[in-house]
């Protein structure tokens, strides 16, 4: 649905095939199921007013910004964990409890 609101109204029907293929590939929906999902998404978007579509577009932009911030924080945290772990030495004869307890 969010993809459809980013496409100009006169091009939405044409992008349904791409959406269907993406659904089949990424979510493993059956072709018939993917077609139904894409058609219903198009009907839902077409039922929205211009103001509602604009509002959803703004929310989508805010959501993407939130994801970027969260991803950056997660990447930084992961990097710190890797750096901290690289300073530890593990014996090949250590038991799992010795490793986890440092």
* 19: pLDDT strictly greater than 90: yes
- pLDDT value for 96: 54
The structural domains of the chain, with segments of one domain joined by +, span: 1-47, 53-86
> What gap in Å lies between CA 44 and CA 1, rounded to an integer?
8
Percent of the chain with pLDDT over 70: 86
> What gap in Å lies between CA 95 and CA 99, rounded to an integer?
6
> What gap in Å lies between CA 18 and CA 20, rounded to an integer?
5
User: Is 42 in contact with 16 (CB distance < 8 Å)?
Assistant: yes
pLDDT in tens, 20-63: 999 999 999 999 999 999 999 999 999 999 899 889 888 888 99
* 79: pLDDT strictly greater than 70: yes
Please indicate whether residue 11 or residue 2 has the higher confidence score (pLDDT).
Answer: 11
What is the distance in angstroms between the CA of the first residue and the CA of the last residue of the chain?
A: 48
* 68: pLDDT strictly greater than 90: yes
> What gap in Å lies between CA 29 and CA 26, rounded to an integer?
8
- pLDDT value for 89: 62
Arithmetic mean of pLDDT over the chain = 86
């Amino acid at each position: 649905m969010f993809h459809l609101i980013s496409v100009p109204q006169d091009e939405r029907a044409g992008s349904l095939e791409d959406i269907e293929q993406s659904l089949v590939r990424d979510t493993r929906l059956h072709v018939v199921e993917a077609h139904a999902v894409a058609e219903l998404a198009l009907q839902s978007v077409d039922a929205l007013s211009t103001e509602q579509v604009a509002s959803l577009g703004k929310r989508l932009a805010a959501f993407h910004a939130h994801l970027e911030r969260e991803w950056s924080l997660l990447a930084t945290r992961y990097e710190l964990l890797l750096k901290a772990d690289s300073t530890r030495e593990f014996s090949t004869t250590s038991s799992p409890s010795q490793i986890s307890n440092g």
